[in-house]
């Protein structure tokens, strides 16, 4: 995926992507050295393991380039919503099926369900944009319709 336009990222997103880039650069170097050693020892013939290592190297190189472009074109946007309207960088308290969860609205490049960050370009993210505390949205998900009640926008 080429990134040739400004990409909005939160400060936490920049840190997360920078850490991934450092890790991938190290992994890429290790994979390159493994491929070089196999080539010099003529071990690279029809080995399935060798092909897997080469595939991993190709992926690492591609992802490194992608991350470099994302970070080069990044516009850092502070988290928060001073006006109480859900927007990029907002942190939301949402009631979903009676349970309150904390979510952040971020770019697709830094979205992570594990970290509680959803993309502003996702169907749920799109539905939440521009909403305030006390409002609700219903989104059709693969599991059916889900009601998201906005408890707080911070």
Query: Whole-number mean pLDDT of the chain?
Result: 92
Residue 133 lies in a domain: yes
- Spatial neighbors of 58 by CB under 8 A, at least 6 apart, are none
**Tens of pLDDT, residues 7-35:** 999 999 999 999 999 999 999 999 999 88
- Residue where one domain finishes, among candidates 76, 102, 131: 76
Where residue 44 falls among pLDDT bands split at 50, 70, 90? low
How many domains are contained in the chain? 2
Answer yes or no: do 108 and 136 share one domain: yes
**Tens of pLDDT, residues 76-120:** 999 998 899 999 999 999 999 999 999 999 999 999 988 899 999
Domain of 31 in residue numbering reads as: 7-76
Full-model pTM: 0.82
Q: Are 130 and 85 in contact (CB under 8 A)?
A: yes
């Amino acid at each position: 995926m080429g990134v040739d336009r400004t990409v909005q990222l939160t400060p936490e997103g920049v840190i997360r992507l920078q850490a991934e880039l450092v890790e991938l650069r190290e992994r890429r170097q290790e994979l390159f050295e493994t491929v070089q050693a196999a080539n010099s020892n003529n071990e690279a013939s029809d080995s399935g393991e060798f092909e897997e290592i080469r595939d991993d190297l190709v992926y690492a190189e591609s992802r490194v380039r992608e991350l470099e472009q994302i970070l080069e074109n990044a516009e850092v946007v502070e988290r928060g919503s001073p006006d109480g309207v859900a927007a990029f960088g907002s942190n939301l308290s949402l009631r979903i099926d009676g349970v309150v969860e904390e979510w952040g609205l971020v770019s697709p490049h830094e979205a992570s369900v594990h970290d509680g960050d959803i993309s502003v370009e996702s169907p749920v993210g799109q539905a939440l944009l521009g909403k305030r505390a006390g409002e609700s949205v219903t989104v059709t998900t693969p599991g059916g319709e889900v009601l998201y009640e906005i408890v707080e926008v911070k």
